[in-house]
């Protein structure tokens, strides 16, 4: 990771990080959602973060690898798996961050650990991903009885002629992607976890979504228009422990 963190909206945490991992083959797919609709679905402590009057929801499939705890090597049998997130953008007492409606993952033990340690809404899913040149084919079927069955199937890759760019502060792409605080609820309270990584290296993308009820089962109705989509270069990410903020 680079030393210069000027791309961040606020400084990285000073304390020691807890966990590190790498994200690969990542897609950001975003749809606009009426802010009042989003507000009704959020915990009472959170407010929807708004871009030009609209809330946004994102679906983010990717491959996670190299997961390890600080000072320990990654475990080959548990460090690499697929993940699919449904997320939105929120503020807590004016502080921006990400709120997850669900995080589906293909590694059952990792799901249980994440639920227990981070109190995030992880669910086990049967997932497959393959590569066809620059295109990723991603399939997911949730198999966790703690949630409704959710299916997602898509093929995505770079838009022909698109170039890699780093989102600039005060732009829509920066607002969507450069977020370093994660919020979750636990026993009626609010927890926040910090992350850190280099600036996102994005490309405009093309996506063909053949199956997708992920938002539906979480009471979100996606609009009929095509999503705004970007793919990202591999990203090394560090996590700090979640702490109570409310």
pLDDT band at 78 (very low <50, low <70, confident <90, very high): low
pLDDT band at 76 (very low <50, low <70, confident <90, very high): low
Residue ranges per structural domain of the chain = 21-244
Is residue 147 pLDDT above 90, yes or no?
yes
pLDDT at 246: 84
pLDDT band at 79 (very low <50, low <70, confident <90, very high): confident
CB 161 within 8 A of CB 180: no
Question: For residues 124 and 110, what is the distance between their CA atoms, to the nearest angstrom?
Answer: 9
* Structure confidence by residue, pLDDT tens digits, 6-30: 999 999 998 999 999 999 999 999 9
Nearest alpha-carbon partner for 32 in 91, 88, 116, 115:
88
* Structure confidence by residue, pLDDT tens digits, 173-211: 999 999 999 999 999 999 999 999 999 999 999 999 999
Give the helix/strand (H/E) hosting 65: strand 55-69
Give the helix/strand (H/E) hosting 13: none
pLDDT at 16: 94
Strands (E), 70-199: 81-92, 95-105, 122-132, 135-142, 151-158, 181-186, 189-197
> First vs last Cα of the chain: how many Å apart?
32
pLDDT band at 2 (very low <50, low <70, confident <90, very high): very low
* Structure confidence by residue, pLDDT tens digits, 96-124: 999 999 999 999 999 999 999 999 999 99
Mean pLDDT of 55-59: 99
Q: Distance of CA 201 to CAs 26, 85, 116, 204, Å?
A: 11, 19, 32, 11
Mean pLDDT of all residues in the chain? 95
CATH for the stretch 21-244: 2.40.400.10
Q: What are phi and psi of 183, to 5 degrees?
A: -110, 145
pLDDT band at 74 (very low <50, low <70, confident <90, very high): confident
Mean pLDDT of 224-235: 98
Residues in the chain: 246
Residues with Cβ within 8 Å of residue 181, at least 6 apart in sequence: 95, 96, 97, 98, 192, 193, 194, 195
Question: Among 54-58, 71-75, 209-213, which stretch is predicted with the lowest mean pLDDT?
Answer: 71-75
């Amino acid at each position: 990771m680079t030393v210069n963190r000027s791309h961040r909206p606020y400084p990285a945490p000073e304390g020691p990080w807890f966990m590190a991992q790498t994200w690969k083959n990542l897609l950001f797919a975003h749809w606009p959602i009426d802010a009042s609709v989003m507000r009704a679905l959020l915990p009472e402590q959170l407010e929807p973060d708004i871009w030009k009057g609209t809330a946004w929801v994102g679906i983010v499939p990717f491959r996670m690898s190299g997961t390890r705890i600080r000072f320990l090597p990654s475990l080959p049998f548990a460090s690499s798996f697929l993940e699919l997130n449904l997320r939105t953008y929120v503020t807590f007492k004016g502080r921006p961050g990400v709120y997850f409606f669900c995080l589906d993952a293909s590694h059952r033990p990792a799901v249980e650990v994440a639920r227990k340690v981070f109190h995030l809404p992880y669910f086990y899913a049967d997932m497959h991903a393959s590569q066809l040149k620059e295109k990723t084919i991603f399939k997911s079927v949730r198999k966790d009885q703690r949630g409704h069955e959710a299916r997602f199937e898509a093929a995505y890759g770079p838009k022909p002629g698109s170039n890699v760019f780093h989102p600039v502060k005060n732009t829509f792409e920066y607002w969507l992607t450069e977020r370093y605080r994660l919020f979750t609820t636990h026993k009626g309270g609010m927890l926040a976890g910090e992350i850190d990584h280099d600036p996102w290296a994005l490309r405009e993308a093309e996506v063909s979504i053949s199956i997708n009820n992920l938002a539906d089962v979480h009471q979100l109705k996606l609009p009929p228009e095509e999503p705004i989509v970007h793919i990202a270069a591999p990203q090394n990410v560090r996590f700090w422990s979640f702490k109570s903020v409310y």
